Amino acid sequence: MLPRADSYPTLVHQFKWHIPQSYNIAWDICDKWIEEGDRLALLYESIEGVVSRYTFKDFHLLSNRLANAFATLGLVSRDRVGILLPQRPEVGISHLATYRSGAIAVPLFTLFGKDALRYRLKDSGAKFVVTDSVGANTIASIRDELPDLKTVINVDGAIDGAEDFDRLLELGTDSFKTVRTAAEDPALIIYTSGTTGDPKGALLPHRSMIGHMPGVEFSHDFLGQPGDLIWSPADWAWIGGLVDVLFAAWQLGVPVLARRFEKFDPGKALDLMGRHSVRNVFMPPTALRMMRTISSKKFSRLNLRSLASGGESLGSELQEWSKNTLGIFINEFYGQTECNMTVSGCSSLYALKAGAIGRAAPGHAVAIIDQEGNEKPYGEPGMIAVSTPNPVMFLGYWNNELATKDKFIGNWLVTGDTGSIDEEGYIKFIGRDDDVITSAGYRIGPGPIEDCLTAHASVQLAAVIGKPDETRTEIVKAYVVLREGYESSGGLQEELKAWVKDRLSKHEYPREIEFLADLPKTNTGKIIRRLLRA
């Protein structure tokens, strides 16, 4: 935990990284707590409303059993394990077993269609996948295209081509010797959306868990206080829900509430937080905007201590609403999968400043630079960058050395976002250098959606942009040029939306489609998305 200090400058000055040479995430987020046999790790509320309690000792024993089953089935160090599940206990069990085995976890979003899953599983060379019946059936339809995939494990029970998760746990034993991993060894691959081409797999080492902690503790006004219980609607396939909430809380011995919502419902979220006396929440700005539609009187049941938000711009109106309705400030944080939680607000330590996303978390050097890597003067806009080396920083993109090289300018990792910094170190976010769309907290690349649209028989060309939206920050909008013989219609618009939703993902489909005779292009044939945005 961060040392106590009476000011931000003092804390930054006192802070020092302690990164051991040998380090495994499974020990840090689970095993170090097992001597306290009744220490609560997870409250799991099922869709039916049944609540189950899991201690750290439970997760230790269950993940040992799964690690033994993995070994029996042929998993070896550095093999990749896909984890395709919503918020439920088996996510934690599977991740812990993967890290114990010295293998690499590949979190996968349950809304992914078969095209998105096929790419990630094939690119990562995943040997195992832990999923449910829905995921198992989707994988079964593409399994012939996944030569590296050996075993699918279904938490709902054995079906054709998939092993029974519970049966494997029964066959395993409670004891497993965790593989001795170095802090630099790879632990997980999280795929991120880019502006062009296919998603890139950010390869994170075990040490990145340690690197996350100062920013997480800052964003929750020193998470780990007596009575803390954290919840987030963010899916555990993304770094915000998985590492910033589940893993980070466990690293501090804080229990986590798990509850899967098929679709975010502000009323149900409010009821959940009230019933379980949730103290700490990470909620994207889009979800907070939806919460604002509820009468302020209904928030009286809450007893929140900290509220963190990130993934898109927060805005002063949400901050004012939180102060007046919840009685607390929202600590905004900033980062990306490749180098996460490097900037954060911490309202209990220093005053938040309107228009700023916070200050650099202890241990991180964040600056505004130009194209040559030179730091810009205070107040001048430039590229937000993080100094290397840094414990939270990724090892590189999986199978993509060129993209990895392009991510750095000298000793700076370049985030791809523009901003400015003032004399006190407050960082202001201005915008993105690229075409990534930020919608409801998700970062969405236009390339895969355009590729999916052009695979439809009616589509000749497609371009995808983010259109400003009051609730979601942006929505996905597609401009489409039809092939000869096809005519634009409302029916075709709905058909193309369903096409993307089914083949790619339910969170990436275009909510608006506009048909054009042609698209603006450069002399070399590249689509000029900025003209479409204009």
Q: Residue 275: which residues within 8 A CB-CB, separation 6 or more? A: none
What one-character-per-residue DSSP string does 6-47 give? Answer: SSHHHHHHH------SB--HHHHHTGGGTTSTT-EEEEEE-T
> Does 316 score more than 80 pLDDT?
no
Digit-coded pLDDT (tens) for 395-412: 999 999 999 999 999 999
pLDDT the model gives residue 292: 86
Confidence category of residue 207, pLDDT binned at 50, 70, 90: very high
Q: Kindly report the average pLDDT of the chain as a whole number.
A: 93
Q: What percent of the chain has pLDDT over 70?
A: 98
Instruction: Specify whether the CB–CB gap between 352 and 319 falls below 8 A.
Output: yes
User: Residue 464 corresponds to which tokens in the numbers above?
Assistant: 């995808």
- Whether the CB-CB separation of 428 and 343 falls below 8 Å is answered with no
pLDDT of 523 above 80: no
CA 203 – CA 104 distance, rounded (Å): 9
C-alpha span between 269 and 45 (Å, rounded): 12
Residue 439 CB: number of other CB atoms within 10 A? 22
Instruction: Report the C-alpha gap between 217 and 366 in whole angstroms.
Output: 18
Whole-number pLDDT of residue 521: 77
Least confident of 173-182, 270-279, 286-295: 286-295
**For residue 372, how many C-alpha atoms fall within 13 Å in the half-sphere facing its CB?**
2
Tell me, what's the pLDDT at 359?
97
Which backbone phi and psi does 54 adopt, to 5 degrees?
A: -130, 130
Query: Where is pLDDT greater, at 86 or 196?
Result: 86
Confidence check: pLDDT of 532 > 70: yes
Q: What is the pLDDT of residue 438?
A: 85
Q: d(Cα 35, Cα 488) in Å, to the nearest integer?
A: 65
What pLDDT sits at residue 196? 59
What confidence category does residue 443 fall into, taking pLDDT thresholds of 50, 70 and 90? Answer: confident
| The pLDDT value given to residue 195 | 53
The pair of three-digit structure tokens given for residue 252, joined into one six-digit string:
């501090």
Mean local confidence (pLDDT), 85-109: 98
Could you tell me the pLDDT band of residue 160, with boundaries at 50, 70 and 90? confident
- Asked if 117 and 126 count as a contact pair (C-beta separation under 8 A), the reply is no
Q: What is the pLDDT of residue 522?
A: 60
**Joined tokens for residue 114:** 């078969």
**Interval 253-282 mean pLDDT:** 94
pLDDT at residue 134 is higher than 90: yes
- Give the 3-state secondary structure of residue 534: coil
For 221, which DSSP code?
A: T
> Looking at the predicted structure, is the pLDDT value of residue 524 above 60?
no
Helices (H), 80-179: 89-100, 114-124, 133-140, 165-171
Q: What pLDDT sits at residue 486?
A: 96
Q: How far apart are the first and last CA of the chain?
A: 47
pTM (2 decimals)? 0.88
Q: How far is CA 417 from CA 155, 346, 426, in A?
A: 40, 22, 16
pLDDT: is 92 or 472 the higher one? 92
pLDDT value of residue 221: 97
What's the CATH architecture for 24-181?
Answer: 3-Layer(aba) Sandwich (3.40)
Angle at 331 between CA 291 and CA 359, to 5 degrees: 150
Question: Both tokens of residue 442?
Answer: 């998700």
The H-or-E segment that residue 282 falls in is strand 280-282
Confidence at 209, pLDDT banded by 50, 70, 90: very high
**Overall average pLDDT of the 4-8 stretch:** 91
Give the tokens for residue 86.
């919503």
Calpha distance 58→92 (Å, rounded):
11
Architecture of domain 437-533: 2-Layer Sandwich (3.30)
Q: Cβ contacts of residue 243 below 8 Å, gap of 6+?
A: 208, 209, 212, 340
Strand 459-469 versus strand 473-482 pairing type: antiparallel
DSSP, res 3: P
What six digits make up the tokens of 471? 């609730």
Q: What is the pLDDT of residue 194?
A: 59
What is the C-alpha separation between 401 and 423, in angstroms, rounded? 36
The predicted structure's pLDDT at residue 525:
59
pLDDT digit string (tens) for 423-434?
999 999 887 777
**Inter-helix orientation angle 114-124/133-140, to 10°:** 80
CB 385 within 8 A of CB 415: yes
What's the half-sphere exposure (Cβ side, CA atoms, 13 Å) at 478? 30
Residue 415's closest CA among 400, 427, 424? 427
Per-residue pLDDT band for 526 (boundaries 50, 70, 90) equals low
Task: State the pLDDT confidence band at 13, using cuts at 50, 70 and 90.
Answer: very high
Domains of the chain: which residue ranges? 24-181, 437-533
For position 430, what pLDDT does the model report? 80
For residues 255 and 87, give the distance between their C-alpha atoms in angstroms, rounded to a whole number.
14
pLDDT-derived band at 451, boundaries 50, 70, 90: confident
What gap in Å lies between CA 429 and CA 368, rounded to an integer?
11
Give tens-digit pLDDT for 379-398.
999 999 999 999 999 999 99
Query: 88: how many CB neighbours lie within 10 A of its CB?
Result: 19
Closest of 187, 379, 318 to residue 332, by C-alpha: 318
